[in-house]
Amino acid sequence: MLTDKIAVVTGGSRGIGREIALTLAAKGATVIVNYNGSAAKAEEVVGEIQAAGGKGEAVQCNVSDYEKAAGLMEYVVEKYGRVDILVNNAGITRDSLLMKMSEEDFDAVIATNLKGAFNCTRHVARQMIKQRAGRIISISSVSGVLGNAGQANYSASKAGLIGLTKSVAREMASRGITVNAVAPGFIDTEMTQVLSDKVKEAAKEQIPMKRFGATKDIANTVAFLASDEAGYITGQVISVDGGMAM
Ligand code: NAP
């Protein structure tokens, strides 16, 4: 259980982040559901949490902005007095082959997926060090582990998250803070619903389990890493991908 824990889930308005927010709240955490543009969807998630007897609130913040990410963490610490769990989930794709990839598409993906996680981690670290406790979990990807044609920007951001995770895990281990990454394979969300049927079928062929995963598969793993039971696990990348990376 995560009773009385304070959790921040970036990109909690939709997809995997939404499921993580609902799952942590169901286990007793108060969840700050961060979003960038989808205010109504974030409020819906909070409504669902509250209808189930849980606690949470929606907070807008573009995590790729260093100062705004600082503001998000300051707001949470001021209001709730602590941050026990940070889930760096916010992410975007701007897929194309390298020879067609614009500088803007490269920068945008790195700014949200990698710098956004750095920003939130950087700004939550002081509070977690003060608490001598904390859990930081970043959502990487199988693309960051194996690479993926058409995703040079995205794979670089997700591999970068793994380096960030391992380095911060080493720095924070003696402070009672664990830092881990989850690397999902293909999960059924809006991010993958935009893929053509041809691409989806080709993807399934690469998955030993021959099917996409569900958001719950990722949320359950995050909830475990956030729990007391996972207290001796740090610096790890947990693949939840139907066997793609093994
Ligand atoms: P999604 O359905 O497209 O949702 C993305 C979420 O990120 C939304 O809540 C969005 O909020 C938020 N977001 C985007 N930019 C943001 C920013 N600058 N600041 C704050 N929030 C921002 O994506 P998903 O499939 O759930 O993916 C979630 C995470 O899992 C991502 O990091 C993704 O790379 C990773 N992942 C997904 C898959 C997959 O197959 N789906 C596989 C591997 C890894 P707004 O709508 O409010 O902008």
Q: Measured from the CA of 158, which atom of ligand 1 is nearest?
A: 34
pLDDT for 17-33, tens place per residue? 999 999 999 999 999 99
pTM of the model: 0.98
Q: Is 112 in the pocket of ligand 1 (CB under 6 A)?
A: yes
Angstrom distances, CA of residue 36 to CA of 26, 58, 175, 209: 23, 10, 31, 34
Residue type, 56: G
pLDDT at position 153 is 98
Asked if residues 232 and 171 have their Cβ atoms less than 8 Å apart, the reply is no
From first to last of its 246 residues, the chain has per-residue pLDDT tens of 999 999 999 999 999 999 999 999 999 999 999 999 999 999 999 999 999 999 999 999 999 999 999 999 999 999 999 999 999 999 999 999 999 999 999 999 999 999 999 999 999 999 999 999 999 999 999 999 999 999 999 999 999 999 999 999 999 999 999 999 999 999 999 989 988 999 999 999 999 999 999 999 999 999 999 999 999 999 999 999 999 999
pLDDT at position 202 is 93
pLDDT for 48-78, tens place per residue? 999 999 999 999 999 999 999 999 999 999 9
Q: Select from 8, 32, 34, 36 the residue to mutate for testing ligand 1; criterion: most ligand atoms less than 8 Å from CB.
A: 36
Q: Select from 10, 16, 138, 238 the residue to mutate for testing ligand 1; criterion: most ligand atoms less than 8 Å from CB.
A: 16
Distance 14 CA to ligand 1 centre (A): 7
Q: Which two tokens stand for residue 7?
A: 């959790």
The yes-or-no answer on residue 154 being catalytic is yes
What is the C-alpha to C-alpha distance for residues 169 and 175, in angstroms, rounded to an integer?
10
pLDDT for 134-143, tens place per residue? 999 999 999 9
- Beta bridge partners, 151, equal 96
Q: Is 91 in the pocket of ligand 1 (CB under 6 A)?
A: yes
